[in-house]
Structure 1
Amino acid sequence: MDSLTSRLNNPKKEKKMRKTYYSVLTALVLTASGCLPGTQVPDEIVEAVSIIAVSNGFQPRKPHYMLEQFVPAVTTDKKQRSQLASVLLDAITSDQTTPAGRTVLAQHLAKIADNSDLRKLKRMLGNPQTEADIRIALGETAASQIKRESLKVYEAEIKSNDPAKQISGLSGISRYYPKAAPQHCLNMINSENHAVYATAIRLLAELDANVLMMELSRLNKENQLKVMHVIEEQKLTDIVPIAEPVIRFNKGGEKKVLLVTGLEYPGHPWRETAPMLAGFLAQDKRLEVSYIEDPRILAQSVLNSYDVIVLNYQNHQVPAPDGALANLKRVVEDGKGLVLMHFACGAFIDWETKVVNTEFAEIAGRVWNPNLRGHDPRGLFRVQITDTDHPITKGLTDFDTDDELYTCLDGTLPIQVLATAKSKVDQKDYPMAFVLTPGKGRTFHCVLGHDLKAMNDTVGELYRHGTLWTARLE
């Protein structure tokens, strides 16, 4: 497995190695399960299992989605269910399967397994290398095997260095001492073992999802990513509530603005820039400015109740919430406003392929292309107002700012450029702010605002004018 992992970390060999591994493992599970061409379990599902087996997380998303759709369909077909269970068992027991892959596949198996399959799976609980992964996968099935012990026994297990014992302790304390469990679950989010921290997050979500979401903002960036990832991976969206947006400024204002943040590239201090941006927007009393640190709201129907959506968000190494882009795109094209701040140009990226979704480009105008040079070295540069007649830039003059001069935007849709800056690296002009009208909506896209130092008053005025224009208050 170490050899496999090292090769996966080599970009030059990754694609070729993955293709070889998928074909070999697919052949193995096809042969072992009897799922040869023409049988009821499609080859593409077997291949999806093979891809998930070697994955180290929730990417690539497509095979996960395929399996999620296929598993419920086999529950009423005994032969097909049995064949799929065999495919899953063979992949789970493979020495080349990663812990993360084993966890996901075992979860699917637990949904369709009969008593014989469960007995085979439970026998793996005695294997120190797989016990932690299987225990989380079996969930309540495994937890039901845990006998009641004293609180001290469970706490001792949690403090041990054995992941299997840690998960046993978390499961036991959550089942028998639920009042003491939340703090232990929060502590174990710090674990480096995927199965351990995923168990802690799942159990805490089941015990008290409100505590999980309240504590989320207090966690460090790494642990926040873990929580967001596990919520998607474990499909906890239904039990982890989406917080209500908080009206920060100008309650009852003529137009309702929702600033969505809560996840970004680690180098972008959204906890500082998002509140400052909200303050800049609120200087116009016609704008009621609400704020939320949970991007899952982008997939909710409540988005329709706002006139403008402001994104200070980028799904760094975490899948975007299911349905978020489709919902946002529909809302904007139906007539709402969209404001994109700085690295929001890279939102809705597929972290497996490093490609931003083309549907996002249709409402963003230009999007981050990781294959292009990212930006000039951080420093001073002059922003030139190129369209002095547009309502957003009317009255503004050229200004200096200390920021990142983005050179990474890509796209072919017609846009109206309002401001540019000349790169000191290649002497080319690059758009800093522009607008477009997707469908019936309006988009203002500005790549300025890396941090507080970059959020000067003129940049704030530019964002405020852009928001007013998208809200049709120009």
Structure 2
Amino acid sequence: MISNTLLICKASHRLPSIVIIGLLFLVTAFNGAVADTYKKPIRVLIVGGGSSHDFDRWYKKVDTQTLEKRKFSEVRYTDNTDSIAHYLQDTDVLYLTNNQPIPNKEARKAIFEFARQGKGIVLGHAALWYNWQDWPEYNQKLVSGGSRGHDPYGKFQVNIVDSKHPLTRKIKSFSLEDELYYFKSDASGPGIKVLAEAVNPEKGERFPSVFIINHPEARIAAIALGHDGAAHELKAYQRLLRNAVSWAAASQ
């Protein structure tokens, strides 16, 4: 960029000032685009596996493609929860999507230590359920709540309620077919900030659909959508996911 700018400056006595300003703008934009293209990808660990969802198809395959597009991220996927502690050593953002148990004490400890260190976490769909009665600290401290039920699979509206937050910026309200989770915040947890709400089409009830957890150290984002391809292949969902990972990684 410096050499290009010098060339423009040397020629400045032969060019109108408005042309010089325009050339400088183009050089700056070009160099910025190159820098963005070759910036270091975000290292993401996706943890999947469990019941009632096709984790391999929608998380291992489609979400990985969404996140690795244009070298935005480098993704590692595992459904072996015993491997979490090992993989977190080389991870920027942990993306939990599983509803299978995490019985390994070292894995549980590593997740909480990851959060304590101020790292990024994204919680997807099934990971926002009350899955594990023997691990209440997960829902209380990392999720600040959870879901114990949902509407039958069907179409509903997702309304953006905070369009200025990095997760939802430039995303308009949309509709899709999915499971509308009845997420409820736990008053004993750190609390949440709702960015988008899912609206029950019959009763008009509203539930958090995209939100962040007010964790004291970590950046934790949550997306309650994601049962199948109607969500994962939707442009709005894909942008939300990339925004969530970008925002979660920004603390580092």
* TM superposition score normalised by structure 1: 0.42
Give the 5 Å matches for 1:262-277.
263-265=49-51, 267-274=52-59, 275-277=61-63
| Pair 1:467 & 2:245 matched | yes
**Higher RCO (CA-CA < 8 Å; seq separation 6+):** 2
Shift of 1:415: 1.1
Shift of 1:437: 4.1
Shift of 1:282: 1.5
Name the structure 1 match of 2:129. 346
Aligned residues: 212
Name the structure 1 match of 2:14. none
Name the structure 2 match of 1:306. 91
Structure 1: stretches of 5+ with no match in the other structure:
1-249
8 Å Cα contact 1:333-1:438 kept in structure 2: no
Shift of 1:431: 0.5
Query: In the superposition, relative to structure 1, how do residues 448 and 441 fare at CA in structure 2: closer, same or farther (>3 Å)?
Result: same
| Pair 1:260 & 2:47 matched | yes
Which of the residues 439, 444, 455 maps onto 2:221?
444
Larger Rg, first or second structure (1 or 2):
1
Task: Tell me how far apart the structure 1 counterparts of residues 173 and 209 of structure 2 sit (CA, whole Å).
Answer: 12
Name the structure 2 match of 1:323. 106
Task: Tell me how far apart the structure 1 counterparts of residues 177 and 207 of structure 2 sit (CA, whole Å).
Answer: 16
Query: In the superposition, relative to structure 1, how do residues 252 and 320 fare at CA in structure 2: closer, same or farther (>3 Å)?
Result: farther
Identity %: 26
Name the structure 2 match of 1:424. 201
Name the structure 2 match of 1:367. 146
Q: Give SS of 2:157's match.
A: strand
| CA distances 1:131-168 after superposition (whole Å, capped 9, x unpaired) | xxxxxxxxxxxxxxxxxxxxxxxxxxxxxxxxxxxxxx
8 Å Cα contact 1:314-1:344 kept in structure 2: yes
Query: In the superposition, relative to structure 1, how do residues 290 and 269 fare at CA in structure 2: closer, same or farther (>3 Å)?
Result: same
Task: Tell me how far apart the structure 2 counterparts of residues 377 and 346 of structure 1 sit (CA, whole Å).
Answer: 15
| CA distances 1:380-416 after superposition (whole Å, capped 9, x unpaired) | 1111010011011111101111111111434123211
Structure 2: stretches of 5+ with no match in the other structure:
1-36
Task: Tell me how far apart the structure 2 counterparts of residues 273 and 432 of structure 1 sit (CA, whole Å).
Answer: 18
- Cα RMSD after superposing both structures: 2.5
8 Å Cα contact 1:255-1:287 kept in structure 2: yes
Name the structure 1 match of 2:69. 283
Give the 5 Å matches for 1:93-112.
none
Task: Tell me how far apart the structure 1 counterparts of residues 249 and 135 of structure 2 sit (CA, whole Å).
Answer: 26
Query: In the superposition, relative to structure 1, how do residues 331 and 319 fare at CA in structure 2: closer, same or farther (>3 Å)?
Result: closer
Name the structure 2 match of 1:458. 236
Shift of 1:297: 1.8
Letter in structure 1 aligned against 2:42: K
Shift of 1:269: 1.0
Which of the residues 136, 155, 160 maps onto 1:385?
160
Name the structure 2 match of 1:244. none
Q: Give SS of 2:127's match.
A: helix
Q: Give SS of 1:424's match.
A: coil
Task: Tell me how far apart the structure 1 counterparts of residues 206 and 197 of structure 2 sit (CA, whole Å).
Answer: 6
* TM superposition score normalised by structure 2: 0.76
Letter in structure 1 aligned against 2:74: E
Query: In the superposition, relative to structure 1, how do residues 396 and 329 fare at CA in structure 2: closer, same or farther (>3 Å)?
Result: same
Query: In the superposition, relative to structure 1, how do residues 444 and 284 fare at CA in structure 2: closer, same or farther (>3 Å)?
Result: farther
Task: Tell me how far apart the structure 2 counterparts of residues 336 and 324 of structure 1 sit (CA, whole Å).
Answer: 16
